[in-house]
Amino acid sequence: MPLLMPLVVAALLFSIGIYGVLARRNAILVLMSVELMLNAVNLNLVAFDVWLRDELLSGQVFTLFVITIAAAEVGLGLAIVLLVFRNRATSQLDELVELREADALRGQPDVRAMR
């Protein structure tokens, strides 16, 4: 089959994953979107491995590694989400905004004191 078919599918999945990471509020939905992106990468790796007929099967082996790491990541990520939920009673990402510059325009320092 043309190499482009798996590649294009992977690319589409990747961009859909990006949209999900950036546009969804719930933290667990974001994790799901990250999984989509990782799967896109896996597909890419496998496609190239089969196309190149690598001796070491490096594409497929890497895919296995990525799957493993993704599993570990989801475990830890969910632990964090649960921790946040325990403390803030929310898993909405846009309510976790402690790092915001609250008074960006209002809290100007007294410039007259500079003279």
The helix/strand/coil state of 26 is strand
CB of 34 to other proteins, least distance (A): 11
Per-residue contact flags (x/-) with other proteins for residues 68 to 107, judged by CB under 8 A: xxxxxxxxx-xxxxxx-xxxxx-xxxx-xxxxxx--xx--
CB of 5 to other proteins, least distance (A): 6
Cβ pair 49, 58 in contact under 8 A: yes
By CB under 8 A, what part of segment 30-49 binds other proteins?
Answer: 30-33, 35-36, 39, 42-43, 46-47, 49
Up-side HSE of residue 78: CA atoms within 13 Å toward CB? Answer: 8
How many residues can be counted in the chain?
115
CB of 60 to other proteins, least distance (A): 5
CB of 109 to other proteins, least distance (A): 7
The answer to the question of residue 17 lying near other proteins (CB under 8 A) is yes
CA distance 35 to 74: 8
The answer to the question of residue 2 lying near other proteins (CB under 8 A) is yes
Helix H or strand E encompassing 61: helix 58-88
